[in-house]
Structure 1
């Protein structure tokens, strides 16, 4: 008789986290969702309410439960990782942390970066930094993820995977507003601020990253793995597609110092996904889905605007 896999998801309230939960439920997993109670999980999932920043709260909510796989969608700091490592030690056979391409923010490479460009075992961890300060956390997003990986990596008995996710595009529920930023400026004929030297980056479609995370849960490898489509994209690639769909013209304003538009980078954020390929997952090329991704997001914006106008 087939044993039902016990899976937990920490967070997962929105975007590709929701899609991950749907995939796990569809595959027959018994899914437990742990969050602060801000949103109920899909029908069929067990809901535990806990503050993952509070070790006692997390232990109390979990009780004696054990899991085959835990997906941590909302681990942003080494302090959160340290709590999770203690609470889930001996409680799960596999711990999949959603990390980010931003861990490579200090890597100035002319070629796509492989996972070994950042070895979390060598990263200095500061549990006393002001990680509870939202401004500090926003300014140190990549560093927080890097140090969180380091906490897990330094426990040889903790079976962790860090999925370094590229910039995610697509979906009518894209809450980031980054595609809308460009579309608004193109419609208004306003310039788009970019670095003087604007570099490409790695991307992945929202559905594909949900597929990859779900697939990762059923594998046996550990450590870091890059998750991105083949074919990096530039700001111009994205804007050209937006122009194709809405008309107008994209005009760029190079900025030497100061704030630039989202998806414009002073360094390359292109990742090498060959490890994922060698492990058995085949990512698509970005050219296969970028038009769809832009259409999904712009379609949602148009619908929202129409609803606000009452038409």
Structure 2
């Protein structure tokens, strides 16, 4: 039985992660601002993760085998977490994103070494506290947050902090997908409205909501560190995605509208978002195939 701390985890795959940890017999402590209570069986600490004193005060003398940070978006947040949890945990798992590769437009699948967080420049002086700035620089915020966990907030040579950055592919499935991306396709195809796609339709990797929850539980129990990609096998372009959704929507019609400049429908990309999952596979995780689970994800969205 482990003591596991989850920061955030109020919705989507965070909820599934907590449920799985509890089912496995772990003692789970959830830290959030108090906006939502955790599932039954989990302890609850109310703290503002952006306020170092608040976080320290809430944690008290607690220590954890693993921390899973679901809501780290900036290097400032990472720097606070690194200071607060140094010496409190044997493993720190940050949920990162495929968006760290936003400048790596490769025709092939991109591996973790394409973005080495040890070489990413950290700028704590940028307006990371401004929500509009943070949203507009989502990938950069995640890159710099990874860099802080890898090297320290000042870019020092201290790599003793035992972190993992899980670079998550686009997550689909479940009836509670707050992003509405797959629902956009379902509703458009159901009503015969056009789905706007780029002239050059570039593919992406995906992962089911349950699969990423399972992956995070698995990572929590491993010993490796550093970045790791989390994606199901296979890539899909928007046209094939539409075909799968269309097959699952009774009476629907797939209408594609090609645009040179956008705005495009969500999950329609003019640059590639394909991640290589070979590292996680070598380490022992078995991913599913996107073409196998996607029809079920469409059904989940319909209901």
Out of 34, 57, 74, the position equivalent to 1:77 is: 74
Report the Cα distance in structure 2 between the residues aligned to 1:292 and 1:81, rounded to whole angstroms: 36
Out of 273, 284, 287, the position equivalent to 1:283 is: 287
Query: Match of 1:262?
Result: 266
Partner SS state of residue 295, structure 1: helix
Q: How does 1:120-139 map to 2 (within 5 A)?
A: 120-139=117-136
1:31-86 alpha-carbon deviations (Å, 9 max, x no partner): 00000001100111100000000000000000010000000000001110000000
Query: Match of 1:305?
Result: none
The size of the alignment, in residue pairs, is 296
Once the two structures are TM-superposed, the CA of residue 183 in structure 1 deviates from its matched residue by: 2.0
Report the Cα distance in structure 2 between the residues aligned to 1:182 and 1:88, rounded to whole angstroms: 41
Q: Larger deviation: 185-194 or 159-168?
A: 185-194
Q: How does 1:1-311 map to 2 (within 5 A)?
A: 4-154=1-151, 155-246=158-249, 247-299=251-303
Q: What TM-score results when the alignment is normalised by the length of structure 2?
A: 0.96
Once the two structures are TM-superposed, the CA of residue 190 in structure 1 deviates from its matched residue by: 2.1
Runs of 4+ in 1 over 4 A off after TM superposition: none
Q: What TM-score results when the alignment is normalised by the length of structure 1?
A: 0.93
Once the two structures are TM-superposed, the CA of residue 184 in structure 1 deviates from its matched residue by: 2.1
Once the two structures are TM-superposed, the CA of residue 233 in structure 1 deviates from its matched residue by: 1.4
Backbone CA RMSD of aligned residues: 1.0
Once the two structures are TM-superposed, the CA of residue 147 in structure 1 deviates from its matched residue by: 0.6
| Unaligned stretches of 5+ residues in structure 2 | 152-157
Once the two structures are TM-superposed, the CA of residue 134 in structure 1 deviates from its matched residue by: 1.6
- The answer as to whether partners of 2:201 and 2:239 remain within 8 angstroms in 1 is no
Q: Larger deviation: 181-190 or 11-20?
A: 181-190
Query: Match of 2:155?
Result: none
Report the Cα distance in structure 2 between the residues aligned to 1:183 and 1:45, rounded to whole angstroms: 35
Partner SS state of residue 38, structure 2: coil
